[in-house]
Each structure stands twice: as structure tokens, then as C-alpha cells.
Amino acid sequence: MKGKVYLVGAGPGDPELLTLKALRALRSADTVLHDDLVSPEIIKLIPPTVLVQNVGKRCGRKSTPQEEINLLMVAMASAGLTVVRLKGGDPLVFGRVGEEIESLRRANIEFEIVPGITAAAGAAASARITLTDRRAASKLVFATAHCKSGRAALGQLSPDATVVLYMPGDDYSIVSAQLRNSGLPGETPCALVSQATTETQQVVRTTVGELASKIPLPAPALLIVGAVAARAVETGFHGTQEVSLVNCRPQL
């Protein structure tokens, strides 16, 4: 008999934000194929009897091709194993789950999607900002700075929207130019959040215009852009500290 594949969201990093259903899947798995950015604390929750394999993809590093990951899932499930494909955040948001689902369907493998807390929600909560605000942010846009063909086009952005940019990369001058070209003024507030919800989390508040001068933060990182970002604070398990804000006067 064929096994089953669980496409599981690991959340933004804090193991306490892992869902009960995700934890149950990890504990009942025969094998776990996890992304590189899944936090070590979550990996430690996997029973020692489970075969664990890192199949993560990182820019500039040796990584596992997506086609190989697809083949691994199909081969293991075809052998009767229960497979967990563990992804950071939510598997349905900027993950490559669409390609994996197609491979499983072609092979007639049963699968189930277990959603997780996406990085945008985790980062915003940790930085203590809201993603929407009826006084200034009535729209919410999730975007990525990268796509299969290279840099992604952001299109025209509304000043009353909060834009969450996943994977901003390590050249913030390009991102700053993209945002300006999309219609956002240089004084628009933004917050860089690195390693959200973990003890090594960093939050840097700045503006679209000043973004180019900032030192790149460690991955995983994202950028929250809009009036709500002016209220971001640096938070962690050891206290809360306001981070400096440059030329930013949000109208809230």
C-alpha cells in the first residue's frame, strides 16, 4: 500500500507557534524532508526514530533541486512511508507547494496540507505592529522580491496599503528603488524583521528612502512597508526596545 505525504507549515520559527496538527504529523512520520530555514528548535521536536533530511534551498549555496524533492516524496510514499514535507511559515505562501502537489497527484499519492503561521503574521506580532489599521491601512499585499525569472515586479502600490515583502534579498537599494518606482514616497515607513519570533530576532525601522543604507539582516527576513510599520519595536524574550526611526511621520 502507498503511504501519505503531509505538506506541513512549521510557522515562523518559535516552536510554540507550531500547530497541534503539525506536531502530531511530525510525531507520526516515518521521514521528514525539511526546508533549510526551519528552526533547529522545531527539528528537535521530531522523534529520534524518524529519518530526517534537509532538502532546503538557499541562494548562493549548494541545495537540493525541486525536482529531486518531488521524486523523494513520491518514492518514499510509494514505498508505504508516511512523509512530512516540512516548510517554514505556511506552505501555501511563497513555498513551492504547487509543484509538489502536481507531482503527488501525477503519482496518485494521497496528501494533506497542514497550514502554518506565515512569516508576515509572525513578524508583525513579534514587532508589535498591526498589518492593517482602519485609519490608514485598508489593504494588505503579500509580495516577493524574487520570482523564477529573477526580480519580481511589484506593480503600482497604494499608499493606504501595507506591503509585506518576503525574501527582500541582501541589496536593499534595489528594493528601495522598486518601491519608489511602484509609487511609494521615500518617507514611507518600513520595518525590516529578521528571524522573527526567535531569540535572535532583529527589527530595524527605517523609511523607503533610507532603506538602501541599511546593513542586510540575516535570513529569513522580510520587509513590512506602510504607515503601520512606524510602530514597530524590537522585541524578544528578554525585553522590548524601541528602534530609531528616520524621517518618518505616519498619519495615524
* Active site residues per annotation: 35, 57, 167
Contact 166, 227 (CB under 8 A): no
Quick check: 175 and 152 in contact, CB under 8 A? no
Q: What is the DSSP string of 107-170?
A: TT-EEEEE----HHHHHHHHTT--S-BTTTB-EEEEEESEETTEEPP-----TTEEEEEE---S
Q: How crowded is the C-beta side of 233, counted as CA atoms within 13 Å? A: 9
CA distance 29 to 109: 16
Classify strands 110-114 and 4-9 as parallel, antiparallel or unpaired.
parallel
Burial call 18-43: b when 16+ CB within 10 Å, e when fewer: bbeebbebbeebbbbbbbebbbeebb
Three-class SS of residue 176?
A: helix
Residue 16 three-state SS? helix
